[in-house]
């Protein structure tokens, strides 16, 4: 089972615990698609910085990537039986406690790095452009 499937499952478990959350599966797929968009944007900015080329962030392109990834994660986790919550939960529970702990820590680190990385690069670029 790929890491992203367990990441989706862990996000789902976190949101399923909220009483007011009516659709944790949709929320989880949306968050996952958003994280992927952050990663793609971060990688694009890093490549532009390393290659010292001008950074052009086309808002429509980023929104397009975001929409495509939202649709992809929604279809993958809502409509495909092979990635349903029951299948993912069964796979998760079949793993050892040590494995589940490692994946949980890795998922948290991935989420933090995804969010902080993009904002850190944005601050870096803002400072570089002001200088």
Number of domains the chain is built from:
1
pLDDT of residue 125 exceeding 90: no
d(CA 75, CA 95) in angstroms, rounded, equals 25
Query: Domain span at residue 74?
Result: 3-130
* Distance, CA of 114 to CA of 28 (rounded, Å): 16
pLDDT tens digits along 86-110: 999 999 999 999 999 999 999 999 9
C-alpha span between 95 and 80 (Å, rounded): 22
Q: What is the pLDDT of residue 7?
A: 95
């Amino acid at each position: 089972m790929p890491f992203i499937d367990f990441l989706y499952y862990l996000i789902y478990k976190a949101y399923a615990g909220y009483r007011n959350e009516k659709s944790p599966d949709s929320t989880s797929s949306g968050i996952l698609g958003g994280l992927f968009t952050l990663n793609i944007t971060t990688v694009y900015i890093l490549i532009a910085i390393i290659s010292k080329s001008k950074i052009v962030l086309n808002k429509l392109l980023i929104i397009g990537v975001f929409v495509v990834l939202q649709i992809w994660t929604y279809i993958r986790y809502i409509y495909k039986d092979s990635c349903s919550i029951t299948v993912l939960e069964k796979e998760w529970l079949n793993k050892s406690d040590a494995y589940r702990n490692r994946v949980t820590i890795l998922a948290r680190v991935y989420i933090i790095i995804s969010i902080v990385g993009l904002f850190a690069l944005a601050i870096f670029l803002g400072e570089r452009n002001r200088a």
